[in-house]
Amino acid sequence: MIDFERLAAWMDDRGAPGAGEPIVNRFLSGGTQKRDLRDPPR
């Protein structure tokens, strides 16, 4: 199980795009292990 709040804090600490935005957890089609975790604003 993924702790998304902890993951978001870790990503923010490392300057990932979308810092401060909530994580959007959704499955991507076409694979068994693919997830889109952050949908940065554009």
Vertex 10: Cα angle to 37 and 25 (nearest 5): 15
Q: What is the pLDDT of residue 26?
A: 72
Distance of alpha carbon 36 from alpha carbon 30, whole angstroms: 12
Distance of alpha carbon 24 from alpha carbon 11, whole angstroms: 13
pLDDT in tens, 1-42: 788 889 889 989 999 888 888 887 776 666 656 565 666 555
Which H helix or E strand runs over 16? Answer: none
Take residue 7 and report the two structure tokens written for it.
Answer: 């993951």
Return the amino acid letter for 29: S
